[in-house]
Amino acid sequence: MPMRIESIDFFYVSMPQIEDIADGSQDALLVRVRADGLTGWGECEASPLVCIANWVCPMSHEICKPLNQAVANQVVDGPEDIARIARRVARDGLDIAQTDHTFSGVEIALWDLLGNKHGKPVYELLGYDRVYPKTPYASQLFGDTPDQTRQKARASVRQGFKAVKFGWGPYGLGDVEADRLQVEAAREGLGPEGILLVDAGTAWGDDPRKALPRLEALEEHRATWLEEPFVGEALEAHAELAAHCRKVRLAGGEGARNIHMARHLIDYGKVGFIQIDTGRIGGIGPSKKVCDHARAHGVTYVNHTFTTHLALSASLQPFSGVEDSWLCEYPVEPKALAVELNHDELALNDAGQIQVPARPGLGVEVNLGAIEKYLVETQIKIGDRVLYRSPDPNS
């Protein structure tokens, strides 16, 4: 008997207070898919309310439809079924820009479900025979001052991290000298051996002239990469800056909403590292395709993850079997909800590395009590018809 999807639930959870900082772990949109007594979980790295609206919105026309129509009651027996559903979603949602963000959590949950059905980790379903440990980099915000940044770098080293990424905060928004002092402080705190990664958080829009004066300090303090100097679509700006780099390489791709955008950054933007968030690009399937394309072009694939360990496991699967892709992003300052949502931690081992779970599906349990605790009661109505109401996680 083919396995047919029986239910798909969206859970919007949030910290009671959201701070106005670049910390994506303050809320989450979890997706639960059930079939044949099995459960799969996924997570969208996107605005929960906008995705929920995308899931249930009334049809506007042939290629502007609610995504739930394309997924409900579908058969899922193998990876090809997930790809088939994804193609229908892409067509139905062509005129809704949010579509790939919304589908990401569903697609990830389908892989988890499929892994649970076949008793295999997702990476095996993706065709990997074995997996390699990754060196996690501690992903955190720059301190408000260079001294704070220095202290944060030292703390990360004490926690066992060999690589640290600093981003956002004041970096890129002030003058060149202020940025230089921040990078210098990060290198000092990290020590000469540490791997230093810098994230400009699209601070310079699409203007290479603003980015070029920052390269010198990054080269001097041996940053491995400069991430997101520009918005992801500014391909010419990326290519121009890349041509001026000596040892530093550009990194980007977290904003990629489909395979094409990620490929463009590689093919036209000349990045050296492509960073993919499975919770945005449409899930694990598209991420694996980007990974294959990156390998064929000498570009290193890295995950982008800033929330839960459910999202972390999903983000590791696509490149878990690639030995050359040895770095991985690892959120070190997640908010309580992100910590409490998963029972199982992908913790650092004694060598300071992490490994994707060798358990069926994504190998991460979801704590229903945490969903209940942080659930945002949401309701969308059209006339008297309730299109969406937050489901009960325990039912």
Measured from the CB atom, is 38 or 339 closer to its own copies?
339
CB-based contact 25:306 (threshold 8 Å):
yes
Total binding residues toward its own copies, as defined by CB under 8 A: 61
CA distance linking residue 111 with residue 5, whole number of Å: 12
Please identify which residue in 40, 48, 194, 318 interacts with its own copies, judged by CB under 8 A.
Answer: 48
> Does residue number 41 form part of the binding site for its own copies (CB under 8 A)?
no
- Taking the complex as a whole, the smallest distance from the CB of residue 359 to its own copies amounts, in Å, to 30
Q: Cα–Cα distance between 357 and 313 in angstroms, integer?
A: 7
Distance of CA 242 to the CA centre of its chain: 24
Q: Which helix (H) or strand (E) element contains residue 70?
A: helix 68-71
Half-sphere exposure of 245 (CA within 13 A, CB side): 24
72 binds its own copies (CB under 8 A): no
From the CB of 171, what's the least distance to its own copies, in Å? 13
Identify residue 251 by its one-letter amino acid code.
A
Q: How many CA atoms lie within 13 A of 47 on its CB side?
A: 7
By CB under 8 A, name the one of 257, 288, 304, 309 that touches its own copies. 257
Answer yes or no whether residue 26 interacts with its own copies by CB under 8 A.
Answer: yes
Among 290, 259, 280, which residue's Cα sits nearest to residue 101? 280
Question: For residue 319, which phi and psi values (nearest 5 degrees)?
Answer: -125, 15
Distance of alpha carbon 329 from alpha carbon 312, whole angstroms: 8
Q: For residue 385, list its beta bridge partners.
A: 382
Could you tell me the smallest distance in angstroms from the CB atom of residue 381 to its own copies?
5
User: Considering the complex, what minimum distance in angstroms separates the CB of residue 215 from its own copies?
Assistant: 23
Stretch that binds its own copies, among 49-57, 113-121, 323-331, 361-369 (CB under 8 A): 49-57
In whole angstroms, how close is the CB of 28 to its own copies at the nearest point? Answer: 9
From CA 111, how far away is CA 122, in angstroms rounded?
Answer: 6
Task: Give the number of C-alpha atoms closer than 13 A to the C-alpha of residue 32, restricted to the C-beta side.
Answer: 20
Per-residue mark of binding to its own copies, 263-282 (x: CB under 8 A): -x--xx--------------
Q: Is 89 in the site for its own copies (CB under 8 A)?
A: no
List helix spans (H) across 119-234: 122-125, 146-158, 176-190, 208-211, 215-220
Nearer to its own copies, 21 or 351 (CB): 21
Window 189-218: contact mask with its own copies (x via CB under 8 A): -------------x---x------------
- Closest distance to its own copies from the beta carbon of 313 (Å): 21
| 47 counts as binding its own copies under rule CB under 8 A | yes
Our finding on whether 246 is near its own copies (CB under 8 A) is no
Selected binder of its own copies within 3, 13, 53, 250 (CB under 8 A): 53
Of the pair 98, 325, the CB lying nearest its own copies is at 98
Taking CA 164 as the corner, what is the angle to CA 315 and CA 189, rounded to the nearest 5 degrees?
Answer: 170
Is 80 a binding residue for its own copies by CB under 8 A? The answer is no
167 binds its own copies (CB under 8 A): no
Quick one: tokens of 60?
Answer: 């506007």
**Residues forming a β-bridge with 16:** none
Using the rule CB under 8 A, which residue among 8, 46, 217, 354 binds its own copies? 46
- Rounded to 5 degrees, φ, ψ at 177 are -65, -40
Structure tokens at 376: 């945002």
Q: How far is the CB of 339 from its own copies (least distance, A)?
A: 17
Under the criterion CB under 8 A, does residue 97 sit at the interface with its own copies? yes
**Selected range binding its own copies among 150-158, 159-167, 291-299, 370-378, rule: CB under 8 A:** 370-378
Q: Could you please report the per-residue DSSP string of 252-297?
A: E-TT--SHHHHHHHHHTT--SEEEE-TTTTTSHHHHHHHHHHHHHT
**Per CB under 8 A, 233 contacts its own copies:** yes
Q: Confirm or reject binding of residue 77 to its own copies (CB under 8 A).
A: no
Angstrom distance (rounded) from CA 308 to CA 325: 21
Stretch that binds its own copies, among 153-161, 170-178, 255-263, 296-304 (CB under 8 A): 255-263
- Positions touching its own copies (CB under 8 A) are 14, 18-24, 26-27, 45-50, 52-54, 56-64, 94-101, 168, 202, 206, 231, 233-236, 255, 257-258, 260-261, 264, 267-268, 376-383, 387
